[in-house]
Amino acid sequence: MALKKLRPITAGTRHRLSPGFEDITETKPEKSLLITLKKTGGRNNTGKMTMRYIGGGHKQKTRIIDFKRDRFNIPAVVKSIEYDPSRTARIAKIFYADGVKSYIIAPHGIKVGQILISGSDIAPEVGNALPLSKIPIGTIIHNVEINPGRGASIARSAGSFVQLVAREAVYATLKMPSGELRNVLVNCLATVGIVSNAEHMNESVGKAGRSRWRGVRPRTRPVAMNPVDHPMGGGEGRASGGHPRSRNGLLSKGKKTRHPKKYSDGLIIARRKK
């Protein structure tokens, strides 16, 4: 899927790099797999703003995605490739042989009419879901589980993938998108292939209004605030005193915020590249 460079007939289209939708085969979603997305405006249940710079945006219906792929050994046919407003990747609508309909994250290169299946004794082909114990070493995968049966939580966004680099005893070693090497239980499921819409990272919004359509409000720079609002605020002119820090005073460049006794420390072999 190639990006579209729009003609600069307005200021908003001059630097716009728009996604191409040639890969999308159907525009109307499956009604039984839709949920209306309720907007919060960044407020909690008491009406207090807990997340700033959120508000407005186009009304959306989120698609129910099957991240578990636990209908084992039941073939499913790909009916359509669709757009999902609440995620960066494309989604695929699949019909199982027993009549169940479902949405999954669409891998790159998947075609309408293709047969997908999940299980332990199947071919490691693009779109099929297998346990890590049954996937050949060196395979590119996505939608990887951290805990067996909980559903995929690794490599789900557009263009993401993980590489299976080793396997020993009950653990498989994965090379994460960040470069981190991490152990995951071999009975966790993963899907073969790369997540679709890899060109998403090169998109250019083009104008502030398009961010507002997505529910993102303008962000105030900390140095433009008053001292009562932010540690970096105040001063005459453009004062640059003090180290960059967050609204709560945490240093923002280099300070480690990871808990020193996090449960997953023992599973990480090599940290991500800095």
Q: H-type helices in the chain, by residue range?
A: 11-14, 208-213
> Is residue 118 in some structural domain?
yes
> Is residue 248 in some structural domain?
yes
Q: Is the pLDDT of residue 125 over 70?
A: yes
Q: Is the pLDDT of residue 252 over 90?
A: no
Query: Do 164 and 253 reside in the same domain of the chain?
Result: no
Is residue 105 within 8 A of residue 91, CB to CB? The reply is yes
**Percentage of residues of the chain with pLDDT beyond 70:** 99
CATH of the domain at 171: 2.40.50.140
Query: Do 89 and 144 reside in the same domain of the chain?
Result: yes
Average pLDDT over residues 65-84: 96
Query: Do 242 and 175 reside in the same domain of the chain?
Result: no
Query: Do 48 and 79 reside in the same domain of the chain?
Result: yes
Mean pLDDT value across the chain = 93
**Residue 98 amino acid letter:** D
Average pLDDT over residues 190-215: 95
Query: Do 140 and 231 reside in the same domain of the chain?
Result: no
Query: Do 155 and 261 reside in the same domain of the chain?
Result: no
Q: Are strands 61-63 and 115-116 parallel, antiparallel or unpaired?
A: unpaired
Structural tokens at position 17: 């790099």
Paired with 107 in beta bridges are 195
Q: How far apart are CA 159 and CA 110, in angstroms?
A: 14
pTM listed for this prediction:
0.89
CATH of the domain at 253: 4.10.950.10
Query: Do 28 and 113 reside in the same domain of the chain?
Result: yes
Domain holding 239, by residue range, is 223-274
Q: How far apart are CA 163 and CA 126, in angstroms?
A: 14
Number of domains in the chain: 2
